[in-house]
Amino acid sequence: MQKSLFGSNLPWPLQIKKGDHCCLYHYEVGTLFALWQAASDGGRSLVSKAWGGRFPFQVKVALVTPEILEIAKATIPDALLNPETGKFDNKLERDQADALLRALQKPFLQTTTRLPPPTLTP
């Protein structure tokens, strides 16, 4: 996240296009980190030396919110889950990004940081 780059050994970054909204799900802890916008199309080894080459599928990103938000699994809105798999996808459709930003305004949503909703770029 400090590199403004998402990387994976799975090919999901290849599905990301410049301008898409993205989040990261931390499977070990069960939290969601949000919210970025792709600054490039996903590709292979965009920054070849990042992570020592262990995560060749990459996409450059820019943070949309003033700080990285960490959201507890229990409070992730259902609108962010893939209806076919019931799991979270790293790429968010525009309506999902809007739903996440609306949910961040609700007092019951547990995050490490609560921020006013930023304006999404079209």
**Residue environment code for 29-57, b if the CB has 16+ CB neighbours within 10 A, otherwise e:** eebbbbbbbbebbbeeebeeebeeeebbb
Taking 50 as the threshold, does the pLDDT of residue 114 lie above it?
no
CA distances from residue 52 to 42, 45, 56 in whole angstroms, order as listed:
18, 11, 9
In this prediction the pTM is 0.76
- What is residue 121's predicted lDDT score, i.e. its pLDDT? 43
User: Among 13-22, 42-51, 80-89, 112-121, whose mean pLDDT is lowest?
Assistant: 112-121
- What is residue 113's predicted lDDT score, i.e. its pLDDT? 46
Write the single-letter amino acid at 94: R
Taking 90 as the threshold, does the pLDDT of residue 56 lie above it?
yes
Phi-psi region of 49 (alpha: psi -120 to 50; beta: other; left: phi over 0): alpha
